[in-house]
Amino acid sequence: MALAEAGARGRLLRWPRVVLFGDSITEYSFQENGWGAYLAERLVRKCDVVNRGISGYNTRWAKLILPRLITESTSADNIAAVTIFFGANDSALKELNPKQHVPLEEYAANLKGMVQYLKSVDITADRIILITPPPLQESAWEKECLAKGDKLNRSNATTGQYAQACVQVARECGTDVLDLWTLMQKNQDFSSYLSDGLHLSTKGNSFLAAQLWSRLENKLSALPSLLPYWRDVDHTNPEASLL
C-alpha cells in the first residue's frame, strides 16, 4: 500500500498535549532529571509534554505571549492540561531588579487574566494548574548575585507573598494549585531542593514532579495508549490494526 493511500485510509493521529508554561524553572525542566522530563516519560504514548518555559520572564510579559501559544484555533479538546508557573521573577525586589519586578496586585491580576484567557478558548478550569514560586534560599542566591556584581535582589518573605497571591487566584478561578513555597518549607530545611537558591536541584525537580504527578494522574489516567501494543498488531494484516 502506498504511503499516501495509507494516510488517506487512516485517521489523523493526534496526541493530546500537556503544556508547561513558565519561566526558567520550566525551561530547564527538560534537563536531565528535570520535572518536565519526568512527566514526558510518564506520559509517553499518551500525551506530548510541550515545554514553553521562557527564562527570565514574568507574568507581565507572559500574558502577552500566551495567546500566541494557545490560540482560538487550537483545538481545546486536544489540550489535556496546562501549568502556569510564574512568580520567581515577578517577586524580584523593585529597587534592585526593576526590569523583572511586577507589583503584587498586578501579578495576581496577570495570573487571573491568563486563566480567564484559557477558559475563553475552552480550556476548562479542571485542566489548569497554577504553581507558586518555590522558596528562596537567600544566602545561596546572594552568592550568585555577588558573582555578577549585584546585591541580593530577592527575599524569601516577598516570594511568599507572591505564592499566597497565586494560591488565592487559583481559589477564585476554581483551578488546582501546587503551593511549592509552602510544601517545600513544611517541617524541613528546603535548601537541598534548590541548586543555587532559586532554581531547582535534582531533589527539587523530583519533589515537584511527584507533587505535580499526584494532581495530573487523576486527570490523565483515563487517556488510552496511542496505537496498539506491538504484540497486539495483526502481523498478517497490519492495516487492520493500525489504520
77, 122, 126, 196: which is the annotated catalytic residue? 196
pLDDT tens digits, one per residue of 145-201:
899 999 999 999 999 999 999 999 999 999 999 999 999 999 788 999 999 999 999
Report the b/e string of 143-161 with b at 16+ CB within 10 A: ebbeeeeeebbbbbebbbe
24, 155, 191, 192: which is the annotated catalytic residue? 24
CB 18 within 8 A of CB 80: yes
Is residue 235 annotated as a catalytic residue, yes or no? no
Distance between CA atoms of 233 and 243, rounded to whole angstroms? 11
Q: Give residue 164's region: left, alpha or beta (phi > 0; psi -120 to 50).
A: alpha
CB 110 within 8 A of CB 102: yes
Residue 137: CB atoms within 10 Å: 20
Interhelix angle 202-220/35-42, rounded to 10 degrees, is 30
- What domains appear along the chain, each with residue ranges and CATH number? 17-221 (3.40.50.1110)
Is residue 196 annotated as a catalytic residue, yes or no? yes
Q: How confident is the model at residue 2 (pLDDT cuts 50, 70, 90)?
A: low
Is residue 90 annotated as a catalytic residue, yes or no? no
Q: What does R_g of the chain's alpha carbons equal in angstroms? A: 20
Please report the beta strands in 28-164, taking only residues with DSSP state E, as ranges in sequence order: 48-53, 79-85, 128-131
CB 159 within 8 A of CB 91: yes
- Enumerate the β-bridge partners of residue 50: 19
Q: What is the pLDDT of residue 137?
A: 95
At 58, which amino acid appears? Answer: N
- The whole-model pTM stands at 0.92
pLDDT tens digits, one per residue of 93-139:
999 999 999 999 999 999 999 999 999 999 999 999 999 999 999 99
pLDDT tens digits, one per residue of 39-87:
999 999 899 999 999 999 999 999 999 999 998 776 677 899 999 999 9
Residue 108: CB atoms within 10 Å: 20
At 25, which amino acid appears? Answer: I
